[in-house]
Amino acid sequence: MIEYLINPCSSVRIDVKKEQTITVIDLEGGQVADFFAVSAENSGEFLSAGVTIDVNESLRLGVGSVIYTNLYRPMFEVVYDDVGEHDLIHPCCRTEMYDFFYKNGVGHPNCLDNINEALNIRRDEITAVNLFMYTKISPSGKISVEEPKSKAGDKIVLRALMDVTLGVAACSVSESKCNSGRCTAIMVKVE
């Protein structure tokens, strides 16, 4: 087993082989992990939250759910989940988002830059699977970001269905309920 500590407002790159398990742990509780991946064989194939919603016909992930690529191929299967509340609709936080909502984007750490840097790529937008993020969806379709339901030590375990390179970020948003108003570390274990 290899462990990766992701410090607050930062990210890591992790190479994972097919059939390995990836355990993402919210160490202190109430912290979101932006979880993104690229196929090890084809950099043009990557995790797609939109395709995952389409194929699963659901805005939610649970044990048995499969996360898909932009080419509609299975990338991960959820095999264990303490929380059962993860976000598939919000793009990674980025400079423009901080400017729009909080007027503080210049120099603010953000998941888009952190994941791009970890993977040595340049994507203008990434919609990752936002593990532990709680987006409340009302019957009218209105959404609100609420405090994550994850408690200290809660985890989700995924099985890789192909060789991938992960870019995982400990989300940088402290200005809202997204990370309970503070940013903390995330642990990832691969075995």
Strand partners, 25: 155, 187
Pairwise CA distance, residues 157 & 189, whole Å: 9
C-beta separation of 12 from 118 below 8 A: yes
Domain boundaries, the chain: 2-190
* Average pLDDT along the chain, 191 residues, taken 10 residues at a time: 97 98 98 98 96 97 97 98 97 96 92 97 96 96 96 98 98 94 97 97
pLDDT tens digits, residue range 91-110?
999 999 999 999 998 899 99
pTM, entire model: 0.96
